[in-house]
Amino acid sequence: MAPEDRISNGKTAELGQFPYHAKLDLQDSNGKFFRCGGSLIASEWIVTAGHCIKGLSTPVHMNENVATIDLPADDGDDYVGDVFTVSGFGRLGRNKPLSNTLQYTELKIRPNSICQRLYNHEDFNDTKLCCKGRDGESTCSGDSGGPLADLGYSGNRNRLIGLVSVGKGSCEGKNPSGFTKVAPYVDWINEQMGMQTYGQVN
């Protein structure tokens, strides 16, 4: 994860609007504090960026403001042209503070070739997504590992599409952001959780 992995110029979320979003305030082995986002997929499991955390030591109690998000089926969809919602507590812009309130914005999936040219150190294959917002809306530092979600894909159910992975330059949306695509990892996630399938896999 690059340090520029980051939501700026988004909207403030209402309480319970993204009940699956987890804010992770962590401390590394050098004592430095950092923030990541995550997605609650079961009461004891959060999906996030690899450097953030591997699991919860105690279950999360579900209520009207705390709920899980569904995992996607690995159907080979590249989602190009689709619009999904990203949420996070990251920086509000370059050199701006971390947000105290959950922010969100919509991002459109672009062809991976666009991000491949921009992030030549990353391999933008079928396990990655290239996303760009409009009007300067983007991810920012502290959003790393946070969810890119398909809201209301099945009634009131939400589906996890990607995780914030890489960003470049300022947080003002000039460049697209890179996301890890969740679908290719669903079998592995279920293995780690010790079950063959988790609830809804769509």
Q: What is the DSSP letter of 31?
A: S
Tens of pLDDT, residue by residue over 79-133, are: 999 999 999 998 888 788 889 999 999 999 999 999 999 888 778 898 999 999 8
State the fold for domain 11-193: Thrombin, subunit H (2.40.10)
* Average of per-residue pLDDT across 3-26: 80
Q: What is the mean pLDDT of the chain?
A: 85
Tens of pLDDT, residue by residue over 30-44, are: 778 888 899 999 888
Least confident of 18-32, 142-156, 173-187: 18-32
Candidates 74, 104, 126; CA nearest to 7 is 104
pTM: 0.85
Statement: residue 58 has pLDDT above 70 = no
Q: Give me the DSSP letters along 55-100.
A: --SSPPPPBTTB---BBPP------TT-EEEEEE-SBSSTT-PBPS
Contact 86, 173 (CB under 8 A): no
Question: Cβ–Cβ contacts within 10 Å for residue 13, how many?
Answer: 18
* Domain boundaries, given as residue ranges, for the chain: 11-193
pLDDT of residue 169: 65
Q: Cα-atom radius of gyration of the chain, to the nearest Å?
A: 16
* Average of per-residue pLDDT across 8-15: 87
Q: What is the DSSP letter of 185?
A: G
Least confident of 69-73, 141-145, 149-153: 141-145
The whole-angstrom separation of Cα 126 and Cα 181 is 8
The whole-angstrom separation of Cα 122 and Cα 138 is 19
pLDDT of residue 3: 37
* Average of per-residue pLDDT across 181-202: 76
Tens of pLDDT, residue by residue over 148-171, are: 999 999 888 999 999 998 887 667
